[in-house]
Amino acid sequence: MIEKIKWLSSLEKVFPDREPEGGFADLKKMPSFLEGEVFSLQFAFLTSCEAEGWAEVGLSGLFAEYAAVREVCPMPSRNPGRALVDSREEENTQAEEDTSAKAQTPAAETAGAKNCPPGLYPDLLRELKGGRVKLYPGQWHSLWITVACGREKSDRGAKAFSCELPYGIHKLEITVKPEEGEPVRECLELELIKAALPEQTLIHTEWFHADCLADYYRVEPWSEEHWCITESFLNHYGEMGMNMVLVPVLTPPLDTAVGRERTTVQLTDIREEGEGRYSFGFDRVKRYVELCGKAGIRYLEISHLFTQWGACAAPKVMVWRGDTQIRRFGWDTPSDGSEYLGFLEQFLKALTGKLTEWGWEGRAFFHLSDEPGEDVLERYNFLRGKVAGWIAPYPIMDALSDYSFYESGAVDRAVPNMEKLPLFAEKGASPLWTYYCGCHGHGTPNRYFAMPHCQIRVLGVLLYYYGADGFLHWGYNFYNSQYSLEHINPYAVTDAGGAFPSGDSFLVYPGEDGRPEDSLRMLLMLEAMQDMRALQLLEGLWGRERVTELIRREAGGQLSTIKWPRESAFLAGLREKVNEAVREWAHMA
């Protein structure tokens, strides 16, 4: 028997053991969305202590044709991270830390956040088996519903409909019919506004780890099975708003312990023809980037040419000598040694020639080393001076947060962390990029299990507010422990072996048959990108100054990457105002 029900926005968490807060019943206006937007909402219900078995789930109403429903599954976390508190709690937290003589952590890092206990956190979105959901006695359940009008119906939808769309206000009805007890039938009115989201201009990359797919599914790298799995994940990647992808022309030297190796996924076929002379085969590279293009991915980032955190060594490079493939370069190869640089010159000239031939000039970027510090500036500048001439006109981009490093001209596109984004914006860095990772999240947006959904979704508003051109994150599907010392099962280990807060290292789960399963964090990231596009649509009608003033007014003052309203009502209210303005324009058009 079902005892309670609630319609909820995507901004609420539903835990099995507690009644969720908020709900659409509290809103003054019905939810609305734009053409081309994937609109998410939840239907939550509480079962009685005697409930058991399964319940059939069905959707009806005019929007049902454009809707899909999945179950929100709680996932285990031993390291869920820190969660923000609302503004009132934040003031109390700050006051307590200011007066505490025992505080061991700087107040700036802890204010407005609290440690969360290990346990089960809602995250996995799972397709219903035969249209049914399993009932657990005395627990809250959540069904995640997505409505996508203006897109071709598929599991996650990405292409345009040719039929007439149901603009205006219509009902979406859901029926949950338990095997025992009375069925529940509830409806909610939604509005589809007759205005389409503009195309995404933000360049968005989440590092795609091809080796983790081979490792988890236990297939040979670049076997036909691996290619099929990779294609499935790339298609999902493009559908979810990521439009730049990491290309493993060499096995990426990312999150790899010194002296250790990750599974070889080098796409380039390299043969040693003589002393210091090499030939290159790019057939697999071509196949990979063609798959990217078919998935709607418009930009490429070439995997790092030197090791992480300082460019001290070469990545693993596999080379054929006769009939034997050997590791020719790696941790034991100095990055600035003549042997590796000699190889690199030949390789990069051949690779860029192919990229240009395939039409990627202006849309491909090269990495040297991830997050180099000022202590390695001299070495980085030396390597940049070499590489830049071999890849021209292709630019160099790297994650680095030291402004003096960027100011030196060592990198064409710096990608600072979000805490440093205001500084880079103030200094006029262009193009303006940013990233966050497991080191951040005490006040900036992030995507940990423990975080309120507003802390994930607010990213889009902040990226618009600062006029960002690009966003980078390191973990679309990292299924290893830290430093890649071992492979993990992400359904059981969600924190990279305890190294990072759960949710930092992956956005999708490796589902059956080589198909990705979404996390609710993935859908919230998609909503963040859609918020940014909606603000850009309004900018075309109002101008940027008026839109940023609207954001500040809804936020109650100035914003920054660490200072923004902690309540979900901010984002819901802001989108309501944006949609209202767009609706008025659409009626007059």
* Domain ranges (residues) in the chain: 2-196
In the predicted model, residues of the chain with pLDDT beneath 50 are 88-89, 91-111, 153-162
**What is residue 25's predicted lDDT score, i.e. its pLDDT?**
63
Average pLDDT, the chain: 92
Specify the amino acid at residue 306: F
82: Cβ–Cβ under 8 A, 6 or more apart, which residues? 113, 114, 115, 116, 441, 442, 448, 450, 451, 501
* CATH code reported for the domain at 2-196: 2.60.40.10
Q: What is the pLDDT of residue 156?
A: 43
Per-residue pLDDT, 97: 39
Q: What is the CA radius of gyration of the chain?
A: 25
For the chain, give the longest Cα–Cα distance. 79
| Pairwise CA distance, residues 107 & 333, whole Å | 43
Model's pTM, two decimal places?
A: 0.94
At which residue do the structure tokens 């070439």 appear?
A: 302
**DSSP assignment letter at 498:** T
Q: Answer positive or negative: Cα dihedral of 508, 155, 458, 454.
A: negative
